[in-house]
Amino acid sequence: MKNSELISARADVLRGGRIESVHHAEISVVNHEDKEILHTPDTGLFTYLRSSAKPFQATVILDTGTDKTFRLPDSWIALACASHNGEAVHIQIVRKYLKRIGLDESALQCGSHPPLAYSIGGQKGAIKAEYSPVFHNCSGKHTGMLSVCRHLGEDVATYLNFDHPVQKAIREKIRKYSGETTVPLALDGCTAPVFYVSVRGMARMYRHLALGSDESLERIWNIMTSHPYLVAGKGRFDTALMEIARGKMVAKVGAEGVQGCAVRLPDGRRFGINIKIHDGNRRALAPLLIETLIHLNALTSEEAKKLEPFHHPTLTNHAGHRIGEILPVFESKARV
């Protein structure tokens, strides 16, 4: 497979057939040989992993044997990898998980927000004035971290501290999988440590997931592909892509326009993909990831057709009138 550099990648936002806004992106695709086979010019750009880190953060549940100690079903571990919608199925599992490890919602230090089902998933109806932390899209991740604390006998009150043993173990995994020499930290929106990694480094992480480079990553692959609805939910792109791809892909979005994707194809090809939208707008992610997958011949025509609403999203106004669409645009030297 020859190298192929993308000159540019962007998503054009059209109103009335004319460009109104443009979202520029960096894209890195790394193959099984750790070669960047498809990329924009600046994949050395550093940014924060945000929730795209969750599949890798969850590996410590498996590395430490926490899953065995508490007899955790795979569906519960899927919630540790999730940015969930806060639907009933998600909340029920997180509450059961907390109960299994002898804790309740008061142990969660992620804060709270209205369920993503309303803001992203398209759910209708009245939003309550207040929600407990279990409704936070990261509550599964936090419950997973707390379960490792309980298994290891570490302090649960300080589980988010940068120097907490659980967080140090996670940071080392991020460093290992990304190939970065150092991994600076900051606070994520849920108050957990978040990792500063290059776009190319993120693609390398998802390459490791695609390869199942160790036993824990292979388990995470199987868990996420077996439980795509639990990873996000109704109306969410990550869930739709994994359901339609049927075991070929793992997708995980992150805030501020970050998207990771691991790909295993029947012909033996393996890819790690990362996309970063420069202005942080997530609406450009699905169109650009699907365009990348089509460019790589990673989707069948039937799969691409099913993903069309995400590939070229229709824009409507509050009266329900179609006013435009989002179009991914690649300018490349060669097709892979």
Q: What is the CATH number of the domain that holds 46?
A: 3.40.710
List beta partners, residue 245. Answer: none
Which residues in the chain come in under a pLDDT of 50?
1, 335-336
Could you tell me which of 50, 2, 8 has the C-alpha nearest to residue 26? Answer: 8
Q: Tell me the pLDDT tens digit for each residue of 1-39.
A: 455 677 799 999 999 999 999 999 999 999 999 999 999
CA distance 278 to 273: 16
> CA nearest 228: which of 247, 209, 243?
243
Distance CA 155, CA 158 (A): 6
Phi, then psi, of 329 in degrees rounded to 5 = -130, 120
CA distances from 10 to 32, 159, 207, 255, 280 (A): 26, 39, 23, 18, 12
Total domains in the fold of the chain:
1
Q: What are 143's two structure tokens?
A: 């419950």
* CA 124 – CA 87 distance, rounded (Å): 12
pLDDT per position as a tens digit, 300-314: 999 999 999 999 999
Q: How far apart are CA 83 and CA 220, in angstroms?
A: 15
Per-residue confidence (pLDDT) for residue 336, from 0 to 100:
46
Q: Which of 242, 210, 248, 247 is nearest to 228 (CA)?
A: 242
pLDDT of residue 117: 84
Quote the CA–CA distance of 277 and 258 in Å, as a whole number. 7
Q: What is the pTM of this model?
A: 0.95
- Domain enclosing residue 101, as ranges: 4-332
